[in-house]
Structure 1
Amino acid sequence: MRRVLLPHVISDAAPPAQAVLRELRGLSMGTSWSVWLAADAGTDLASLQRGLQQQLDDVVAQMSHWQADSDLGRYNRAPAGSRHVLPPAFFDVLMFALEVAQASGGAYNPCAGALVNLWGFGPTGRYDEAGFTAPTPARLAAACASLQQLTLAADQATRSVCQPAAVQLDLSAVAKGYGVDRLAYYLQAQGHQHYLVEVGGELRGAGVKPDGQPWWVALEQPPATGAQEVAPSPIVLALHGLAVATSGDYRRYFEQDGQRYAHTIDPRSGWPISNALASVTVIHPHCMAADAWSTALTVLGPQAGLQLAEQQGLAARMLCRQADGSFSETLSSAFSSMLDR
């Protein structure tokens, strides 16, 4: 039976009287983006398309660890002891990421790019390239020791950050969500209040469709990997003033010598997660927050993750693989309070 999630606050603002459903699409961040818009027939879609694409191009130019000439790429190559004035957006996203790192006890850490690279999930030395082998425990221990010792000194007044010693920033667990928010901010600045934005499966919605219905979206379910796996009953969400992001162990992984390694790395141990969590979904007003928190909760696991979700007031859903092939479902209080009973 399908379950329904409803936001606590619902605006009564109606779409334009002659609004029709418009759709815009593009490519960015190694994936696709989409915007569905309740707008009148006179909307300049070509100009809107260019503006939306520019928002994501700016995020990539500042925060991509896949492009050597991005602001992040230059920071990662900078000499030890240097200080760098960052673009405002880059600085703000990094500061938020560091807040989540502190609150999660290091379960999420934007400075853990070296570990991500060692496991072949970075831009070079990929796990899917010939000759790749999993890192040795000694290399992981050395990388973790360096990570624990570093201090990333930031100056709010000048929006500057030091490069203590070969720190490799990786904002992939937050930048895509921020990109979703950027698209939403741009639409609002152009006078559009009724839209659904998506980048690589992460979404944010506001207002309603031309027919007055909310933007209904189905929460992502992990795919079945065996004949006996039984998924929990599906959940649909009225994405009205909310964003949603899901982290899953099925997204990217590789197998070597009979061992399966997920792409989500625990910065505290240096190893890919192995806590049986199949997916974590977080609902939040901001997609950047939903993105980062879903990663942090995934690393923490079902017990510690739920505890942190309750402490932070996060609406979180955790699906854990069971020995019999089924999934157990754990919901935070904030998530359960949105269920239409």
Structure 2
Amino acid sequence: MGTTYMVKVAGAEQLGDDEIRVGVDAELRRVNDQMSTYLKQSEISQFNESGSTDWFSVSPEFAQVVSAAQDIARRTEGAFDITVAPLVNAWSFGPGERTGSVPDPQMLKQLRERVGYQHLEVRSDPPAIRKSIPELQIDLSSIAKGHGVDRVVELLRSKGADSVFVEIGGEVRTIGDKPGGPWRVGIQLPDAAQDTVMIAHPMVPGTEAGNAMATSGDYRNYFVADGKRYSHTIDPRTGAPIEHSLASVTVIAPTCMLADAWATAINVLGRDTGLATAKEQGLDVLLVLRGGETGYELEGTGTLAEYAVQDRSADAGGTSWAAIIPITILTFAVFSILLFAMAIGVLFGRKSISGSCGGLANQKNPDGSTSCALCSNPSDACQELREKMAQEQRSS
């Protein structure tokens, strides 16, 4: 999925670390094999390459995700639309090369004729999807990551874990409590350092809103051309990146799949329509908008509305942005010092740094293997996982 994940399990002493790791990696690989546009042999890539308008067989999970996406597309009148793939690729936010340039308006006009959720059908029995125009392509990036979180949660639940925290690229779902109280999920301060937490929301088990949270924002993935900033979130109705004051949208829902999709949908809709839609759909939402004396304004619904009230009543004892800004600066300074110290250690220790795939992560482990887990660069670890998955399938 091009991002990191984190899994925390409290209790469940019967589960070993290796069992959890192998199980989680295998489940996420299945999600990628179904829904990743970066893999040529994935179900989604094969569907996108097909020019047939006949029913295309897919896995039950794939059909489930497409069905949920189509439901939200209808509820938002196309503001959320997974057939936006050609436009995402044209703006170089897809699996192709990042150009950082604005597409030709005439080309965008032609591509918009290939977009529209009305041109896509889905059925569950037998699971399949169908396009009504041969050029139709889909992109599940705005919903598949949340679905992956749900898959991992259900996997761990099936193994007997009843206190779990799962996060993939910022999308989170919890079950149960951690020792000492409820799991807390951080909502980041937009445009600040990645680890700067604006709010730590407690995920109380059994709440009506749900225990899954997702955030959609314009402050991580974007490019600047001719002094203008272009967000990776494309409005299917205009064919261009969103342009409004929303910096981020956070949604709480019963499943992370729904939270992920609704966060994107409301981000596309913008402040007024997005807030009205959230209330209409009974969603717990926090909108962070650029503007105001402190640089940001907060609007919220449901359980997240309290943070908007705190922001407005900072003088009465709430959380004020004036208090957060010094903390942000201090955090940045501390991390800068730590990074500088690490760099000095590497220079004097003469030891290579291991990091992400494509080069740094290809450093050799002590046993001679490599650790990269991305399908585009298989390693010994990947082969081991494949063998264990095949063995499990044979034994079942």
Task: Give the TM-score range, shorter chain.
Answer: 0.7 to 0.9
**In the alignment, which residue of structure 2 is the partner of 1:239?**
203
Contact 2:287 2:299 in 1 (8 A): yes
Name the CA shift for 1:193/1:139 in 2 (closer, same or farther; >3 Å).
same
CA shift, 1:221, in A, is 1.9
Provide the secondary structure at the position in 2 that maps to 1:126: coil
Identity percentage over the alignment?
Answer: 36
**In the alignment, which residue of structure 2 is the partner of 1:221?**
189
State the distance in 1 between where 2:222 and 2:174 align: 30
Pick one of 308, 312, 327 that aligns with 2:281: 312
- Detail structure 1 runs of 4+ shifted over 6 Å in the superposition: 337-341
Name the CA shift for 1:216/1:334 in 2 (closer, same or farther; >3 Å).
closer
Q: Does 1:332 align with 2:301?
A: yes
Superposed, which structure 2 residues align to 1:1-341 within 5 Å? Answer: 29-127=1-99, 133-148=101-116, 151-164=119-132, 165-209=134-178, 211-224=179-192, 234-241=198-205, 242-322=211-291, 326-336=295-305
- Amino acid in the other structure paired with 1:91: A
Higher share in strand: 1
State the distance in 2 between where 1:215 and 1:264 align: 29
Unaligned runs of 5+ in 2: 206-210, 311-317, 319-396
Provide the secondary structure at the position in 2 that maps to 1:34: strand
- Which deviates further from its counterpart, 152-161 or 176-185? 152-161
Contact 2:149 2:173 in 1 (8 A): yes
State the distance in 1 between where 2:89 and 2:294 align: 32
- Amino acid in the other structure paired with 1:161: I
State the distance in 2 between where 1:323 and 1:337 align: 18
CA shift, 1:100, in A, is 0.8
- Which deviates further from its counterpart, 170-179 or 151-160? 151-160
- Amino acid in the other structure paired with 2:216: S
Contact 1:177 1:290 in 2 (8 A): yes
CA shift, 1:290, in A, is 0.6
State the distance in 1 between where 2:271 and 2:114 align: 28
Unaligned runs of 5+ in 1: 1-28, 226-230
Contact 1:265 1:273 in 2 (8 A): yes
CA shift, 1:217, in A, is 2.2
Provide the secondary structure at the position in 2 that maps to 1:31: coil
State the distance in 2 between where 1:105 and 1:289 align: 17
Contact 1:247 1:298 in 2 (8 A): yes
Contact 1:317 1:329 in 2 (8 A): yes
State the distance in 2 between where 1:214 and 1:44 align: 23
**In the alignment, which residue of structure 1 is the partner of 2:391?**
none
State the distance in 2 between where 1:81 and 1:55 align: 30
Contact 2:82 2:117 in 1 (8 A): no
The structure number with the bigger radius of gyration is 2
Provide the secondary structure at the position in 2 that maps to 1:173: coil
TM-score in terms of structure 1 length: 0.83
Query: Looking at both structures, which has the greater relative contact order when contacts are Cα pairs under 8 Å and sequence separation is at least 6?
Result: 1
Higher share in helix: 2
CA shift, 1:163, in A, is 2.9
Contact 1:78 1:163 in 2 (8 A): no
Name the CA shift for 1:258/1:155 in 2 (closer, same or farther; >3 Å).
same
- Amino acid in the other structure paired with 2:284: A
Count of matched residue positions in the alignment of Structure 1 and Structure 2:
302
**In the alignment, which residue of structure 2 is the partner of 1:6?**
none
Provide the secondary structure at the position in 2 that maps to 1:82: coil
Contact 1:254 1:260 in 2 (8 A): yes
**In the alignment, which residue of structure 1 is the partner of 2:349?**
none
Name the CA shift for 1:263/1:148 in 2 (closer, same or farther; >3 Å).
same
State the distance in 2 between where 1:271 and 1:117 align: 12
- Amino acid in the other structure paired with 2:168: V
State the distance in 2 between where 1:251 and 1:292 align: 18
CA shift, 1:188, in A, is 0.6
Contact 2:63 2:122 in 1 (8 A): no
CA shift, 1:36, in A, is 0.8
CA shift, 1:216, in A, is 1.7
Name the CA shift for 1:207/1:156 in 2 (closer, same or farther; >3 Å).
closer
